[in-house]
Amino acid sequence: MNPNYHSTTWLLESQLAAYVDAFKRRFTEGRYVPTTVDNYLASIAHFAHWLTQSGIDIHGIDEQIVHQFLYEHLPHCDCASRVYRVRRTLQTALNHLLSVLRANAVIEKPAIGMTPADEELRRFDMYMSHARGLAPSTCRQRLRVIARLLLDKFANNTVIISAMNPDDVRKFVAKQSELCSTPLSITPTISALSGYFRYRATQGDPVHHLTGVLCRPAKWQLASLPKTLNSVEIECLIGSLEHDGPSARRAAAIVHCALGLGLRSGEIANLGLDDIDWRAATIALRRTKGCREDVMPLPAAIGRAIADYLRLERPQTSNRAVFVRNIAPRDQAISHHLISKTIRQAFARAGLPHTRPYLLRHTMANRLLEGGSSLKEVADVLRHRSLNTTMIYAKLDSRNLAAVALPWPGSAL
C-alpha cells in the first residue's frame, strides 16, 4: 500500500481487514498497475476509517452508505492531510469494495425493483426480445423511454393503461422533445411508444386513441444521399493507419473490418477468435443486428491486419474476443463505443472532417456498386433483411443511372 498516505493502518485495523487479500486478488486478476492498486486500497482505507468514526457496521454497507461518504463526508473531510480524496477514484474503488463484499456474502445484493412499473417493463422486455426479436440495444433504449412514461403517469402505483389518455401522451412527447437537439431526435421516442402500445394491444387493451396522437417528424424515405469517402479520402485514411502508438495495430484492424467488410461497430466488438477460419479465409458474424449468423469471405488485406494485431500487439488474455482491452480491467472485450471512438480517431489522424463510423459502411457499398455489383449483391454483403433498405444506394450507382437517364430537353441527341 502506498506509504505516502497516513491511512495505511486504518484499513488493517478496521472491519474490512479480513478482506484486504480479496481486494488485492481482484485487482491482480484484473491486471491493474501497482499505482492504481495503491490508490484503490488507500481509497478503501479512507472509507474504512470513516465507517469506524461513524459507527457503521460492515453488514450495513450499501450504495446509500457509499453515496453518504462521497457527497456528505468528503466535501467536509477533516481526516489526516495525507488521506486519499480523489472522488472519481474513490467511487471506482468503493464499487469494487461492494462487489467483493457481496461475493463473500458479507452484504446483501441490491434489492431488485418489484414495483408495478418494474414488472410491466420486465414483461415488455420479454415481448420485445422473444416475440419481436429486437436487438438488445433497441430493447434497452425503448425500456428507458417507457420507464419515464410509466413513472410520469403512475409513479409506483398499478399500471392501468385504460387510465392513460391522449393528452398524457401528448404532454410526455412534448416534454421529451424539449430535450432533443433536432426535430428528428424525437423519432426513437415515438418508435418506443408505438412499440409499447402495440404490445398493450396484444394484451387486449384498446390503445387506438393513444397511437393516434403519435406523429413522427417528416422524413422522406430515401430522400438523403448517403455520404461516402472518395478514392483520395480512402487513401488518406488507409495511409493514416501506419502510425506508432500503443493500439496502432488494433486500430488498423478495426478500420479495415469496417471499410473492407462493412461491419457495424457492434459486430466488430463481438468478433471472436473462433469466428475466423484462417484456412477457408472466412469470418462468421454472430449476434448481429438481424439476430442471425452470417459467414463472409475474409479478404487478404483484412486478414493480414487482424493477424498483425493478434501476433504483435494483442495482450495475453484468456478472453476469446478478437479485440480486447489494453488497460485494466483486462481480460475483457472492448465495447462498441470504443470501436466507434477508434474510427473517429482514425478520421482525425487522416485529416478528414468526419465523425460517423457508419460512413465506412456506406463507402463499402459504394465501392461495390462502382465495381459492377448489383443492388441485390450489395444487400447480401451488407446483410440487409429487405432489399428496400439497400435502395438508398441506387442513387450512388452512376453506371446504371447514366444508362437510363433521358436526354436534356433541347439538347442534341
Predicted confidence (pLDDT) at residue 287 exceeds the cutoff of 80? no
Q: How confident is the model at residue 1 (pLDDT cuts 50, 70, 90)?
A: very low
Q: Give the pLDDT band of residue 227 (cuts 50, 70, 90).
A: confident
Average pLDDT over residues 177-183: 82
Whether 321 is covered by a domain: the verdict is: yes
Q: How many domains does the chain have?
A: 3
Quote the CA–CA distance of 4 and 12 in Å, as a whole number. Answer: 16
Based on the fold, state whether residues 96 and 129 are members of the same structural domain.
no
| Residue 224 placed within a domain | no
Per the listing, cell 472522488 goes with 87
For 366-400, write each residue's pLDDT tens digit.
888 777 777 777 777 777 666 566 666 665 655 55
- 391 and 255 both lie in a single domain: yes
- Is the pLDDT at 217 greater than 90, yes or no? no
**Rounded CA gap, 136 and 96, in Å?**
26
178 and 242 in a single domain? The answer is no
Mean pLDDT of 271-277: 94
Let me know if residue 109 belongs to a domain. Answer: no
Angle between helices 136-154 and 187-202 (to 10 degrees): 80
Give the model's pLDDT for residue 275: 93
pLDDT for the residue numbered 85: 87
Average pLDDT in the chain: 85
| Assigned domain for 144 exists | yes
Phi and psi (nearest 5°) for 253? -65, -40
* CATH at 137: 1.10.150.130
pLDDT of residue 150: 93
CATH value at residue 269: 1.10.443.10
Q: Do both 254 and 395 map to the same domain?
A: yes
Q: What is the pLDDT of residue 254?
A: 95
Domain containing 59 equals 8-103
In one-letter notation, the amino acid at residue 234 is I
Task: Answer yes or no: is pLDDT of 128 > 80.
Answer: yes
Is the pLDDT assigned to residue 233 strictly greater than 60? yes
Nearest Cα residue to 33 out of 332, 247, 327: 327
Chosen domain end from 37, 68, 103: 103
At residue 369, the pLDDT reads: 77
Domain boundary among 40, 75, 103: 103
pTM of the model as a whole = 0.64
Residue 199: predicted pLDDT? 95
Residue 233 is placed in which grid cell? 479520402
| Euclidean distance between CA atoms 283 and 289, whole angstroms | 16
End residue of a domain, out of 45, 76, 103: 103
Q: Is residue 312 within 8 Å of residue 407, measured between CB atoms?
A: no
**H-run or E-run covering 169:** helix 166-177
